[in-house]
Amino acid sequence: MVARASGENGWADPHNSGIYTFTSTSESDITGIRSTGDGKYTDKYDFHFDATSDSTCMVSACSESQVMSVLDYSTNYCNLHSLYCNSGEGCPIVGADLTYSEDYKSCSQHDSVCVASKVTDKKLRGSDKLGECPPVKTAEGFDLDSYISGKWYIQEQAETQYLPKEQNFCVQAEYTKKAKKNWLLGWEIDVSNYAQEADGTPHDSGDTLCAQSADKDDPAKLEVAPCFLPGFLAGPYWVLEYDENEGYALISGGQPSEENENGCTNGDGVNDSGLWIFTRQQKRDEVLVERVRDMAKAQGFDISILNTVDQTNCGQEEEI
């Protein structure tokens, strides 16, 4: 664990490229601090080791965010798990390859987002090409009021944790500027997302999502989160291409970071994930969709991750 955190054998934190610092180490205890790769947030963690009678080791561990954390998206679990995950999960081994079982007592969020085989940090895979995904460009002269003036129909989208393929039917999005900005949390736009399953089962976000500008110098960079959360927990929502006259938009969940032979992608979790093609017209226009796909490819994206959304038999087909 100490070797991994020290970066030996090219190891890097698979969960958002965090940086580990140990404050104390002994045969029975390890304590330390982990900061996020961008240096914004810090968590404290500790491990306690007890030898057992059958030549195994019992480990008790805890990680705690040092800021208000309503939802941590498995960060505290990953802070610990990433230091001992084994080769069976795709984790590069620095010293011993451990066999273990886990028991969660108070860890409410523990999923697969930090497992090495599913992360996007190329340093973890021993690549020397970290960061080679070209910086994407947002829409020039972006007019937020124009962009939120009407309903959008999603024609293609990448699968994410909150957008499974099973819900790729009749997907729509609407945005409404709040009469009064929430100065406490920062939200200025209400977001309404709607999708269906093949059998018509609806999934409606209702009034639970909000958005705000993330960059005063670039109005095309927005961020979205549940309305009860503060803005610093929001996920990026960047409008990369937009033409109101032609009725299309290309949206990305921030800067892509994972490169493969087909291009770059975002993650598939909650934040920093997603790629969408929007049109004002619900009926699919193959020529227009293909044009926007080409725009995404020109920005360096792997467009093979885009799945078609079925906008037929929605009961409310509209044309503008």
Residues 6+ apart with CB under 8 A from 207: 190, 192, 227
**Structure tokens, 152:** 């959008």
Angle (CA) 176 179 182, round 5°: 95
Q: Is the pLDDT of residue 232 over 80?
A: no
| Reported pTM | 0.60
**Structure tokens, 278:** 């929007």
CA–CA gap between residue 187 and residue 226 (Å, rounded): 10
Report H helices in the chain.
Answer: 2-5, 75-81, 144-147, 286-298
CA–CA gap between residue 172 and residue 152 (Å, rounded): 6
Q: Is the pLDDT of residue 6 over 90?
A: no
pLDDT in tens, 185-229: 779 999 999 999 999 999 999 989 999 998 889 999 999 999 988
Tell me the domains of the chain and their CATH numbers.
Answer: 2-125 (no CATH), 144-308 (2.40.128.20)
pLDDT tier at 243, thresholds 50, 70, 90: very high
SS3 125: helix
Q: What is the DSSP letter of 59?
A: E
pLDDT tier at 137, thresholds 50, 70, 90: very high
Q: What pLDDT shows up at residue 124?
A: 37
Q: What pLDDT shows up at residue 129?
A: 44
Q: What pLDDT shows up at residue 101?
A: 85
**Structure tokens, 121:** 């940090």
Q: What pLDDT shows up at residue 281?
A: 97
Q: Is the pLDDT of residue 144 over 90?
A: yes
Q: Is the pLDDT of residue 266 over 80?
A: yes
pLDDT tier at 109, thresholds 50, 70, 90: low
Q: What is the DSSP letter of 253?
A: S
Whether the CB-CB separation of 30 and 24 falls below 8 Å is answered with yes
